[in-house]
Structure 1
Amino acid sequence: MSNLSEEDIQKELERAANQISDRIADNMKTFGVSSTVGRLLGIIYMNRAPMTLDELAEETGMSKTRMSQVMRQMISLNIAEKEFVKGSRKEHYNVESNYVQTFISLFTTNWREVVSKNSLLAKRLQDKIAHVEQVSKEDFTPETQAKMDDLKQELDDWIHYYDWIQRLVEVFESGKIFDLVPVEPPDKSNHNQGGHIHE
């Protein structure tokens, strides 16, 4: 096999970096995050340095306004932040470089919102049922009573379910998850000697 030129090596490395960036974008879909958010996350992550809206717009072919909107969304998801770059007046953005922390930020931010919305809905429905029971002048038919009891039980189960998710979110946010599922340190293998670990 002929030796690759420096230019060929650079192209191969760039292709590999692009594949990683694309996979990061694809993985974001599992969190219900738009592909555009995932794409920007991958681009900035693989850039290994903060980027401006102009640079992101040029990289993606999208407008600077759109880049600004997406960056605001990423900041709200706790996976990006503005970063000061000495000597530049432009705003620069960087992303969380730790995969595990990115997962925790996306998981907890999204599920906190889900818990809040559904808990409020369950409470409103419980109040509505309680109001119907309070103002009713007559006894309910067995069929109506059974349906009401079933719905009340469903709402109780729903509230307990979202309470469990809330507590799970807190396990992630507090860092207790690492006591249950530790993050293994990178393998310090010596790839030049058959993959044996350095002593």
Structure 2
Amino acid sequence: MEGHEKLEKARERIIETIAQNIHLYGLVPSAGRQYGMMFFQNEPLTLDDMTEKLGMSKTSMSTSVRALSDLKLVERAWKKGVRKDLYKVTDDWYQSFIDLFSIKWRRSVTLHLVAIKKSLAELEQLSIDPTASEELQKEVQIDIEKLKYIKNYYEWLERLVDVFEDQKIFDLVPIMNDSESDS
């Protein structure tokens, strides 16, 4: 096998793995292929460049690059003399993960905590309602305990998101350099 063929085979393996796993970011495999292809480029690309390299429609490329950009996996680039929009893979994969993790989980935590607090307030009112039956009072108390448990969970998850956003995660799980990761 010639050197260029080996290079392309090695790259294609990574591109296909990214395509298979991009669903973790809520994206389709074609967006993963686009991202993987962009990762191996040493220069920013236009949508036309991407269309030519992947053989996909410009509309599809545009949709995917917008989704990748929203997740902060790709960013616009500037090059003197080029009037078309250029895109490149963001340099910091660690920060991209932190951004994605934080955005998705912060939204989820907020939604859950608002619902839990509202439901707890309603149930606590119901728990002191003198017209409620003993059976209903028991069910209400069980539900209150369940909601307190999941409230604690979401507050813990909120603190976990803070650890990522404050980058304290790297104190707990340090980034390894190349020589450390070879073992």
What TM-score, normalized to structure 1?
Answer: 0.76
Give structure 1 stretches of 5+ with no counterpart.
189-194
Q: Percent identity?
A: 33
String of CA shifts for 1:33-86, please: whole Å, max 9, x gaps: 433433322121122332212222333443323322322222222222111122
Aligned: 1:46 with 2:57: no
String of CA shifts for 1:101-130, please: whole Å, max 9, x gaps: 333232222222222332233234335445
User: For residues 136-175 of structure 1, what are the structure 2 equivalents within 5 Å?
Assistant: 138-175=130-167
RMSD, matched Cα: 2.7
Aligned: 1:92 with 2:116: no
Partner of 1:179: 171
Q: Distance in 1 between matches of 2:115 and 2:56?
A: 38
User: For residues 73-152 of structure 1, what are the structure 2 equivalents within 5 Å?
Assistant: 73-129=67-123, 138-152=130-144
Q: Distance in 1 between matches of 2:45 and 2:120?
A: 49
The change in CA–CA distance for 1:51 and 1:173 in structure 2 (over 3 A counts) is same
Partner of 2:23: 29
* Equivalent position amino acid for 2:52 in 1: E
String of CA shifts for 1:13-48, please: whole Å, max 9, x gaps: 111101111112323333444334333221211223
Rg: which structure is higher? Answer: 1
Give structure 2 stretches of 5+ with no counterpart.
none
Aligned: 1:9 with 2:3: yes
The change in CA–CA distance for 1:132 and 1:64 in structure 2 (over 3 A counts) is farther
Q: Distance in 2 between matches of 1:25 and 1:184?
A: 25
